[in-house]
Amino acid sequence: MAVDLSAALLLLLLYGHVERSITTVGVDPQQTVHLLQEQQVSHFQQYLQIRTAHPNPDYTSAISFLTSIANHTAPSTIRTIEFVPGKPLLILTYLGSDPSLPSILLNSHMDSVPADVDRWSHPPFAAFTRRAQDDKCIGVQYLEALRVLKTEGFVPVRTVNVVFTPDEKITGIDGWVEFAVSREFRELNVGFMLDEGQASPSEDFRVFYSERTRWRLILKAHGLPGHGSKLYDGSALENLMDAAMEISRFRDSQFDLVKSGISLPSDVISINPMYMEAGTPSNTGFQMNMQPSEGEMGFDVHLPPTVDPDDLRTRFAEWAPRTKNMSYMVIEDGPIRSYTGRLLITPTDSSNPWWIAFEQAITQSGGKLAKPEVLSLTTDSRFARQLDIPTLGFSPMVNTLLHQHNEFLQDYVFLQGIQVYTHVIRALSSLLDESMLTESTIM
């Protein structure tokens, strides 16, 4: 992607937060751009090296660092709020020329899952490793893009809010959930949100308009205990194993749709066994000549937004019929409808002015969008969609394998993302079409 040398030179001249003195007079513009990019990459590396992995994320250091960077983007306000002790949110607000209009929210979470050090070929908390993609990259890219826009003299029409949240990796209950019902959130008057997406292995950016909802299914079976040598019908484990076979066949039918290319992984219901508890304990483990009177299995279930939850519950009841002394329990990690009863889907067509502005910005940046998708996993986006706020999941990472062990992000991909966000933030914060406030933006 081509670099705008004049804009980059202006940025460097006005760059308040620098790690070393740079003389721009008589310097080749290309060299100036290179030095600027080194500084942007350095900020990313420093953020990555702050350990925010569970179970003990260092949110204090993360917020201190982000605030130091944000100070040079001239936000109107910087606020740190704790709805739960030890779980801070950082809110940066850039006031628009018409603050009465619904604002833009750029969301990023600070925490990450633990790293299994034995599976990494290099330290997982060195630069460009754990959290490089999920999703410390977009947090720094937001700030660097806003810095570019500031130095270009751009003033948004709509207020732009950048929010760094805790605990996204552990359900978000102490982070976004508390935030969403707060007075502070209502005062932001959010009209549209951008959140994290996923890396694309191709040259096309991926964008997500919805995501699957996670349920946890627990099956329980009861029956008469008996000696291990006895054959009889209706034992607890026999019924539990029958249910497991039914679930396995259903899983195969869903997986076949993916393997045949008919559906994407995020378009089907996934159900996978997580644990099984059964057996009569003994001093050496389990009693091997006693059939247990009860057993339990747990499954991780992810369902697309278009699935009828009542139909799925009917299927669960068929897998665990009362006539076989079985029962089931579902633990929902959030509803699949908004508070007004709508599907948690943001339209990606001409009915949604936010989408039109976003799509045009990607084109203007020199990029191309892949077909919009449903995200397989859950993010903070679901909480915004539950409030009927149009939300897209987007991380500008192309030609990049999805994050895993030995995760990394190429520096040129990171830098390209900054340029993409300058176009996206400019377009979204300049949108004036009031039709976005109609019901057409949420299905």
**Is position 373 annotated in a ligand binding site?**
no
Beta bridge partners of 205: 369
Predicted confidence band of residue 435 (pLDDT cuts 50, 70, 90): low
- Per the annotation, the verdict on 168 as an active-site residue is yes
Q: Which range has the worst mean pLDDT, 77-86, 126-135, 149-158?
A: 126-135
d(CA 150, CA 432): 20
Q: Return the structure tokens found at 49.
A: 């090296």
Residue of 168, 174, 195, 373 marked catalytic: 168
pLDDT over 50 (residue 3): no
Q: Return the structure tokens found at 34.
A: 């290179």
Are the beta carbons of 82 and 157 closer than 8 angstroms?
A: no
- Helices (DSSP H) in 221-329: which residue ranges? 236-259, 309-319
What residues does each domain of the chain span? 5-211+343-441, 213-303+307-332
**Is position 227 annotated in a ligand binding site?**
no
Provide the 8-state DSSP code for 262: S
Tell me the whole-structure pTM to 2 decimals.
Answer: 0.84
| pLDDT tens digits, one per residue of 12-64 | 333 333 344 344 455 566 777 778 788 899 999 999 999 999 899 999 999 99
**Is position 184 annotated in a ligand binding site?**
no
- Helices (DSSP H) in 260-401: which residue ranges? 309-319, 353-364, 381-386
pLDDT over 80 (residue 208): yes
Are the beta carbons of 355 and 443 closer than 8 angstroms?
A: no
**Is position 109 annotated in a ligand binding site?**
yes
- Residue 269: the pLDDT is 97
d(CA 55, CA 57): 6
Query: Average per-residue pLDDT in the chain?
Result: 87
d(CA 174, CA 53): 16
Please state which of the four CATH numbers 3.90.1150.10, 3.30.70.360, 3.30.450.20, 3.40.50.970 is assigned to the domain occupying 213-303+307-332. 3.30.70.360
As a dihedral over the C-alpha atoms of residue 423, residue 424, residue 425, residue 430, rounded to 10 degrees, the angle is: 90
Q: Which range has the worst mean pLDDT, 344-358, 389-403, 423-437?
A: 423-437
Please state which of the four CATH numbers 3.40.50.720, 3.40.630.10, 3.40.50.2300, 3.40.50.11540 is assigned to the domain occupying 5-211+343-441. 3.40.630.10
Residue of 111, 359, 373, 407 marked catalytic: 111
- Per the annotation, the verdict on 277 as an active-site residue is no
